[in-house]
Amino acid sequence: MKRVRCPKCDNYIVFDEAQYTEGQQLVFQCPQCNKQFAIRIGTSKLHNKHEEKQLDEQENAEECGSIVVVENVFHYKQVIPLRMGDNVIGRYVRGTEINTPIETSDPSVDTKHCIIRVQRNKRGELQYILRDAPSNTGTFFMNEILRDQDRIRLSEGDIITIGATTLILRTANQTSL
């Protein structure tokens, strides 16, 4: 038996995965909120990459915080770790060279949408600096669109919107919350 979570209300639906083949797509309707959503049987290649990346970063690098991708109609909640330097954020498409992909089918998120630079200031504290990549639909910080030349210093809990997707910054000392 396998559980799948409704992307709208977080209700779990149980089904027997043995009846289906790997790669098969299933459509569910949540009995609690009536939301229809689809899943594909098998594991996500991108999800496995995030797990491997998270293990590597925990073992080999210092903790640099993360972004929380808030659920919307296109995908589920994701927590993506950040690394030192430029974190190029965008929609995952096979063959795209970005280091912080979001698994989504949201057409308004570009494959290279925005960049969060993680660096240390003169006191050795981590800084998070946001800029647009540039993207076709723009990057919004706290509901204000960024111009190409804008560089915004981020802090814990800041909200970034790319397309129809919302990102929330979790700084290094707040990641475990």
Which has the higher per-residue pLDDT, 3 or 46?
3
Domain hosting 13: range is 2-40
Instruction: Give tens-digit pLDDT for 78-132.
Output: 899 999 999 999 988 888 788 999 888 788 999 999 999 999 999 999 999 999 9
Together in a domain, 36 and 51: no
Together in a domain, 54 and 113: yes
- pTM for the complete prediction? 0.63
Report, as an integer, the average pLDDT of 53-74: 63
The CATH number of residue 131's host domain is: 2.60.200.20
Together in a domain, 147 and 88: yes
Together in a domain, 64 and 36: no
Mean model confidence pLDDT for the chain: 82
Q: Which two tokens stand for residue 13?
A: 């639906």
Q: Total domain count for the chain?
A: 2
pLDDT of 61 strictly over 60: no
pLDDT at residue 120, as a whole number = 93
Together in a domain, 72 and 155: yes
Together in a domain, 29 and 106: no
Share of the chain above pLDDT 70, in %: 82
What is the rounded distance in angstroms from the CA atom of residue 101 to the CA atom of residue 42? 20
Together in a domain, 58 and 11: no
Contacts with 96 (C-beta within 8 Å, 6 or more apart), sequence order: 90, 111, 112
Together in a domain, 8 and 63: no
pLDDT at residue 46, as a whole number = 53
Together in a domain, 30 and 74: no
Together in a domain, 63 and 137: yes
Together in a domain, 21 and 70: no
pLDDT at residue 50, as a whole number = 52
Together in a domain, 49 and 29: no
Report, as an integer, the average pLDDT of 23-36: 86
Share of the chain above pLDDT 90, in %: 39
Query: How far are the Cα atoms of 84, 120, 169 from residue 129, in angstroms, in the given order?
Result: 11, 11, 11
